[in-house]
Amino acid sequence: DTGVSQNPRHKITKRGQNVTFRCDPISEHNRLYWYRQTLGQGPEFLTYFQNEAQLEKSRLLSDRFSAERPKGSFSTLEIQRTEQGDSAMYLCASSITGVMNTEAFFGQGTRLTVV
């Protein structure tokens, strides 16, 4: 499968624990995005990488959230000291830079439940 891969697909954690999600983008895609989606809402932008550089972070990304993309390949999103409000679907997407922006391809997401 050459699409965007996210692991794990589901994560249940206790409040206060740290969690880390992984995203493997489409191999030639240099742009990588994280979005968050709560029930009944559309996805909301969290952060964006071009290669290994994190170029934008949404205000939604509190200091408990950190994302990395070492070597410009896979990315991780870590949430420290999870809260119940962090329960959501976390989506990763990737795209390639071109003359104009191409469409983004999304992974299946990681559904986080904080209990």
Partner 1 sequence: DAKTTQPTSMDCAEGRAANLPCNHSTISGNEYVYWYRQIHSQGPQYIIHGLKNNETNEMASLIITEDRKSSTLILPHATLRDTAVYYCIVRGIGGSNYKLTFGKGTLLTVNP
| Footprint on this chain of partner 1 (rule: CB under 8 A) | 4, 31, 33, 35, 40-45, 48, 56, 91, 93, 95, 97, 100-101, 103-109, 111
CB of 53 to partner 1, least distance (A): 13
CA distance 27 to 18: 28
Whichever of 20 and 50 has its CB closer to partner 1, that residue is: 50
Burial category of 75 from C-beta neighbours within 10 Å (exposed 0-12, middle 13-18, buried 19 and up):
buried
Residue type, 79: I
CB of 32 to partner 1, least distance (A): 10
CB of 16 to partner 1, least distance (A): 27
Burial category of 57 from C-beta neighbours within 10 Å (exposed 0-12, middle 13-18, buried 19 and up):
middle
Backbone phi, then psi, for 84, in 5-degree steps?
A: -60, -30
Whichever of 42 and 70 has its CB closer to partner 1, that residue is: 42
Whichever of 76 and 96 has its CB closer to partner 1, that residue is: 96
CB of 107 to partner 1, least distance (A): 5
Whichever of 24 and 44 has its CB closer to partner 1, that residue is: 44
CA distance 72 to 58: 20
